[in-house]
Amino acid sequence: MQQVTGGSPQQAHVGDIHGDHVQIIIDQKQGISATEMHEIVRASAPNANTEIDLAAERLKSGESQVALHLLSDLRKRRWDQLSDRERFRLLANLGHIHEKKGDLNEAAREYLEARTYQKDEEQARSLEAVAHFMLGDNAKAHRLSLAILADHPHSLLANAVRIRTEPESVGLSEIERTIPITVKKTPEVLNAMGWRAAATGNFEAAEQLAREALELKPDIPELKEQLGCFIMMKEARDADNELDRVWTQQLLHYLLEVKKIPADLFNEFTVFLVAANYSFTRLVPGSFLLAAHKASWEPEIFPFNMVISWFGKPEILDSGLCGTLAGALLQVWRNAPLSHQKEAVTVALFNAVLSRPDGVNLLAILHRSADSIFGVDVLATQGCKNIIERLLRLRQGRIILPG
């Protein structure tokens, strides 16, 4: 998804805000009206579009938390003085931040609110369609995209939503014939076509489409991740019982083949793959720690929340999961900076395990083996045991655990 600018309706640039916010001091002269006061405030304040652009540039450079702070602060300080267009841009960019962080429900909420301030504009209507797609209402998203395309046939977002939400009975070649030639070879449309092809199991076509998109915009991380994801999916289809070994080898091959991903992006890429629910058992420990640092040890923040959810996947064998979980617990109790973060992440991990059919038995095993996991770290050992006992009491009523 793209950011929203004051100029081109399909792009946004956000940047860095230097110095202090401008403070406005108004001499309360007797007799001044509320309307006059409002105009004084508007005339004296820095340009809101400039602040939004500056925040967008931070987001573009990967500083989503900074961008979120800047835009939230702008909304708190000046919401009543913003025009409808400025409110739309602020909310749309907040939605984009939440989308980048993986919080699709919050992103959709911001997009839907933004729509109310630019009801007839093509991009605002497109973001509404995107919001319903994020919320899983493909039928409504599809209807909205068709209505937009009737008025704006070259809309990139509307075309992308339409492609992603076409009924399963509509084939890839049929979809391709209906795409306007002016947008057919854009990264946005190629990206959507790639995911559509992957959804039907045509990973060869998905890979080719992803390569075409990456050639057009080689510096966009999401397009690199998409290509890698399709390569993994193709290998997974053919690898049968050697998925972990083949995928790990393919990752290295991918980095060498594409030659566009810096070596230091390898760990970032593995986080994406683990978060996308692939069974990279050997990649999970490093991805877990990296995702934890990216999310400041907050278990609900993407991609940490998705890496944690990996421990609840029923297809992961108990033998592989127990060792990986023990390693994750060590990372938590050694690296989480605050006590409440250690407990919160541990609870999130254990709840993920409990979502498995054999989750209760696995926690009982962990309870018995906590001493060997943490060794002389008595606080960590007892802390984990206490959390396990509390969760199992909540799950099964009173339960007696072996010592």
Q: What is the pLDDT of residues 145-161, one digit of tens each?
A: 999 999 999 999 999 99
111, 140, 165 — which closes off a domain?
165
CATH code of the domain in which 126 resides: 1.25.40.10
Q: Is residue 355 part of a domain?
A: yes
Domain shared by 157 and 10, yes or no: yes
Shared-domain flag, residues 136 and 1 = yes
Which residue stretches of the chain have pLDDT < 70?
A: 1-46, 102, 232-233, 235-270, 272-283, 319-320, 395-403
134 and 4 part of one domain = yes
Domain C-terminal end among 113, 145, 165: 165
Does residue 371 lie in a domain region?
A: yes
Query: Does residue 306 share a domain with residue 157?
Result: no
How far is the CA of 112 from the CAs of 51, 72, 100, in angstroms? 22, 17, 17
The per-residue pLDDT for 289 is: 86
Domain closes at, from 165, 193, 221: 165
- The Cα 371–Cα 365 span in angstroms is 11
Q: Are residues 10 and 148 in the same domain?
A: yes
Identify whether residues 143 and 290 lie together within a single domain. no
pTM, to two decimals? 0.56
- 147 and 294 share one domain: no
The residue segments making up the domain with residue 110 are 1-15+43-165
Is 267 part of any domain?
no
Number of domains in the chain: 2
User: Is residue 307 in some structural domain?
Assistant: yes
Q: Give a yes or no: residue 76 inside a domain.
A: yes
Count the neighbouring beta carbons within 10 Å of the beta carbon of residue 297: 20
Residue 86: per-residue pLDDT: 93
State how far the Cα of 198 lies from the Cα of 66, in Å rounded to an integer.
34
Question: Given this model, what pLDDT does residue 301 score?
Answer: 87
DSSP 119-161: TT-HHHHHHHHHHHHHTT-HHHHHHHHHHHHHH-TT-HHHHHH
DSSP 6: S
The tens digit of pLDDT for each residue in 93-130 reads 999 888 877 678 888 999 999 999 998 899 999 999 99
Confirm whether 265 is domain-assigned.
no
Q: Is residue 155 part of a domain?
A: yes
Q: Write the CB contacts of 372 (distance below 8 Å, at least 6 apart in sequence).
A: none
Residue 147 lies in a domain: yes
